[in-house]
Amino acid sequence: MVIETRSPKETFEFGKKIGELAKAGEIYTLIGDLGVGKTVFTQGLARGLQIEEAISSPTFTIVQVYEEGRLPFYHFDVYRIGDIEEMEEIGYEDYFYGQGVSLIEWSNLIEEILPQRRTEITIEKDLDQGFDFRRITVRELGV
């Protein structure tokens, strides 16, 4: 599925729809350059899980856990990760294979430990279409 947005609000709303449909144990992986809108999308998805708390990027912690919503939400941002051992140290498998919803920004940096079964979301700019334009591609992998 490919959808196009023309404002942060539209990307948020699309994330929210995905969050409303999300089920326990699902994994969403986000790929795209810095500033493309991964965190905006994530904020929408969290809202769709009925999380009201503000979502920022977990810059110093790799993962931020939100328990207040419809399902537990595990927000990873692995942009600054050094190596896969850091994922092992935080016990990533308990999140990925648990009963919450996992979302990983910069998932391409930890490709080797990603489950086959996941929803891969790629966000791209296209400056020919304007500064606020984004193309969001959603792929169901491993099904």
**In the complex, which residues of this chain contact ligand ADP (CB under 6 A)?**
5-8, 10-11, 32, 34-40, 105, 132, 134
Site string for Mg ion, 58-97 (x = CB under 5 A): ----------------------------------------
Nearer to ligand ADP, 20 or 132 (CB): 132
What's the closest the beta carbon of residue 62 comes to ligand ADP, in angstroms? Answer: 15
Q: Residues 17 to 46: which contact Mg ion by CB under 5 A?
A: 38-39
- What is the distance between the alpha carbons of residues 49 and 31, in angstroms, rounded to a whole number? 21
Q: Residues 100 to 119: which contact Mg ion by CB under 5 A?
A: 105
For the residues of 51-83, what is the DSSP string, one character each?
--S-----TTTSEEEE-SSSS-EEEEE-TT---
Q: Do 103 and 55 form a contact (C-beta atoms < 8 A)?
A: no
